[in-house]
Amino acid sequence: MHELAITQSMLDIVLEQAEKAGAREVGKINLVIGEMTGVVDECVQFYFDFLSKGTSAEGAALSFTKVPTTARCRGCDKAFELKEFDWTCPYCQGNNMEIVAGKELFVESIEVE
């Protein structure tokens, strides 16, 4: 349910940027969300519909680019997508890795009129 706070922060950023650009209306919001953040698209959409009412972003389309959780093996240096319940390197079977992607949570761009 942290999506409520996240959606509010996202909307704040969008409205600030739209106002700066002198936009009348926000048509689309492009979001990048790493899988590791546990943010659920449907929840963001639900809260967005509610929070954006009466703002210039009301009715804007939300586009979600999801980034899979990706790890880099410290043993063989290869990168791979982290699987659920299996955190071994598929190349060398090592189990010491660094998370290199999947923690993203940002507004990439907005499309305004």
Partner 1 sequence: MKIKVVKDILGANEQIAERNRQLLDSKGVLAVNLMSSPGAGKTSLILETIKRLKGKTRLGIIEGDVSSSLDAEVIGKEGVPVVQINTGGGCHLDANMTHSALGNMPLQDIELLLIENVGNLICPAEFALGEHKKVLISSIPEGDDKPFKYPSMFHKADVVLINKIDLLPYLKFDTDAFSQAIRGINERAEIFQISCATGQGIEKWVSWLLTQMSRRQS
> Which positions lie near partner 1, rule CB under 8 A?
1-2, 4-6, 9-10, 12-14, 17-18, 21, 23, 31, 36-38, 69, 71, 74, 82, 84-85, 87-88, 95-97, 99, 103, 105-113
Closest CA to 76 of 103, 57, 95: 95
Q: What is the 3-state secondary structure (H, E, C) of 28-40?
A: EEEEEEEHHHCCC
Give the tokens for residue 92: 């060398």
Nearer to partner 1, 16 or 58 (CB): 16
CB of 54 to partner 1, least distance (A): 21
Nearer to partner 1, 54 or 85 (CB): 85
